[in-house]
Amino acid sequence: MKIKNHLLSGDNVNKMRESPNQSGEFVKGNLDTIILHYTAGNASASINTLLNPKSLSSAHLVVDRDGSITQLVPFNKIAWHAGQSSYNGRTGYNNYSVGIEIVNAGPLTKSGNVYRSWYGEAFNPSEVIEAIHRNQSTPKFWHIYTPEQITAVTNLCTVLIEEYNMKYILGHEEIAPTRKTDPGPAFPLDKIRTQLLGGSSRVDDAEEDLPDSGRVNVNNLNIRALPNVKAELVAKPLTKGTKVKILSESNGWYNVKVEIEGWVAAKFIEYE
């Protein structure tokens, strides 16, 4: 799966069907969020709605039950999926986000042996979980997502983070908590964002910027057991010019391994 010219391509990607429901390019630097939704309808009905100019709604992507993906709006253009929304001091999330609609019926009502969606589709118990929504206090029945959808959404988020330096993955339920319950508790939202971003925001790259090695540039440098001036000394101070291998960093301290070169009598060296 890859993105070129703001269009997705790959094995599981259908031909694009462009929605008229869009409003020009993002302001430069604004796009940094992925918003996840459920369709509360099947794929063809949902895509038709998102293509209909009268619906005044759209999303960049729709992920079907089999994991196949249809793009409706190029990623550099604003789609209409968030509605009235606010989170973390921002409002109007359409201006900051790519919207992914995942085909799922949403909350279900039990009637006899089947579970029904608001639009009447029936599901058997193997397609249902009972769970408490993050914005609610009592358990309800929810349509499950397929493993193919979860894989597809994870892959989509990965390429979008790569291409657009996305910093947040949020549910519609988080940016419009009084109106919305999507993607709901059947979707592993917290797990995916922790996996991809290390929480709700992107992990920084500090660790990757660490130099491999260096040399001591003062006459005597104390070397301690912990990154703290009061911590015990582990060896004689390192002398100027000593080469150190840098292993990790913590609040201005480097954990180092000292590499000294010289000759020693062979009989005093033990093999591991």
Q: Residues in the site for Zn ion, rule: CB under 5 A?
A: 37, 172, 182
Of 174 and 182, the one with the shorter C-beta distance to Zn ion is: 182
Q: Closest distance between Zn ion and the C-beta of residue 21, in Å?
A: 14
Rounded Cα distance between 89 and 112, Å, is 45
Give min distance, CB of 82 to Zn ion, in A.
8
**Toward Zn ion, which CB reaches closer, 133 or 172?**
172
232 belongs to the catalytic site? no
Question: Any alpha helices (H) in the chain, and if so which ranges?
Answer: 43-51, 147-164, 172-175, 189-197
Backbone dihedral angles phi then psi of residue 94, each to the nearest 5 degrees: -55, -30
Which of 35, 37, 59 has the alpha carbon at shortest distance from 47?
59
37 versus 60: smaller Cβ distance to Zn ion: 37
Q: Considering the candidates 18, 101, 148, 259, report the single residue annotated as catalytic.
A: 101
Q: Is the peptide bond before 183 cis (omega within 30 degrees of 0)?
A: yes
What is the token pair recorded at 34?
């992925």
Q: Which residues contact 257 (CB under 8 A, 6 or more apart)?
A: 244, 245, 247
3-state secondary structure of 70: strand
Smallest separation (angstroms) from Zn ion to the CB of 138: 22
Q: Sort strands 97-102 and 61-63 into parallel, antiparallel or unpaired.
A: parallel
**Identity of the residue, 108 or 171, whose beta carbon is nearer to Zn ion in the bound complex:** 171
State in angstroms the smallest separation of the CB of 180 from Zn ion.
5
Looking at the annotation, which residues are catalytic?
Answer: 101
